[in-house]
Amino acid sequence: MAFYGIDVSYYQGTIDWQKVQVNGPDFCFVRMGYANGDGTLTIDSEFENNMNGIADTCIDTGVYLYSYLRTEQAAVEAAGEFLAIAQNYCLTMPLVFDLENTEIYGSLGKELTTGIAQTFLGRVRDAGYYPMLYSNPNFVENYLNIADLEEFDFWVADYRSFIRYTGPYGIWQYTDQGVIDGIGSRVDLDIAYRDYPAIIKSEGYNHLPSWRRILPGSRVKIRSTATVYANSSVVIPPCVRQAEYKVLKVCGRTALLSCINSWVWLEDLELIQGPTE
């Protein structure tokens, strides 16, 4: 099964996320910014706007950081700051290290460049988040010892009709010329070949609150403290709170329940059983 997404930064300007949602991308990666050579971060000027806007949609979200890092110690510092910011958001897609600058890493050599990637991604993993490397076939072949990074999922950028990279990858960025209503410029388009939100939720990555781990197919009950349906002033009757329901769909902070065919806040649900095959 394939899932379709986009990735955005300040290059796309101010985005109308409600319009974007109508076009149905399953996921989005938002650029947090870039890591300077010394490990400090420069935050993308649209990062906060994008994260606030996408939070009100059904789009699964991850973040990425472009790298100018020059040492493994700088990677430690950058990863710490990256994680400190990431923990403020409910991220249901991986946390990505964007490594592709040939000018910097051509002078550092494969061993150090690979060590920087291992250090950064390892810190993300050890903090309980799902790490991912982003790059392209040319960089992987000429600037990295990719075999030393096989424990991390790979997001490959290749705009040809086929992917030259022959190793395993989880996401393919196949064009930078996408057109999406709600975005005023061209945008990168991606295909994910793994269900990352399901993996992250079911395996406990990214420090998601318990209600964020509820998946389609789960059995749930509505908590006795729930008062009204999601995005509504309609009161939930006591009899409705006594039954169990199957989750038909999850959208942002809400879930569509069977039988009553109504949307309920995820925070108002008690998980009885996860989805079954």
Phi, psi of 130 (to 5 degrees): -95, 110
Last residue of a domain, one of 190, 208, 226: 208
* 217 and 88 together in one domain: no
Q: What does the pLDDT average to over 4-17?
A: 96
* 132 and 196 together in one domain: yes
* 84 and 129 together in one domain: yes
Look up the domain containing 135 and give its range: 3-208
Question: Contact, 275 vs 216, CB < 8 A?
Answer: yes
Q: Answer whether residue 277 shows pLDDT above 70.
A: no
Last residue of a domain, one of 208, 233, 260: 208
* 176 and 69 together in one domain: yes
Task: Report the pLDDT value the prediction gives residue 44, as an integer from 0 to 100.
Answer: 98
* 170 and 224 together in one domain: no
> Tokens 């108002």 map to which residue?
268
* 215 and 111 together in one domain: no
With a pLDDT cut of 90, the percent of the chain lying above it is 87
Last residue of a domain, one of 153, 176, 208: 208
pLDDT tens-digit map of 110-156:
999 999 999 999 999 999 999 999 999 999 999 999 999 999 999 99
Q: Decide the pairing of beta strands 153-157 and 131-135.
A: parallel
* 135 and 108 together in one domain: yes
Q: What does the pLDDT average to over 201-228?
A: 92
| CATH number of the domain to which 144 belongs | 3.20.20.80
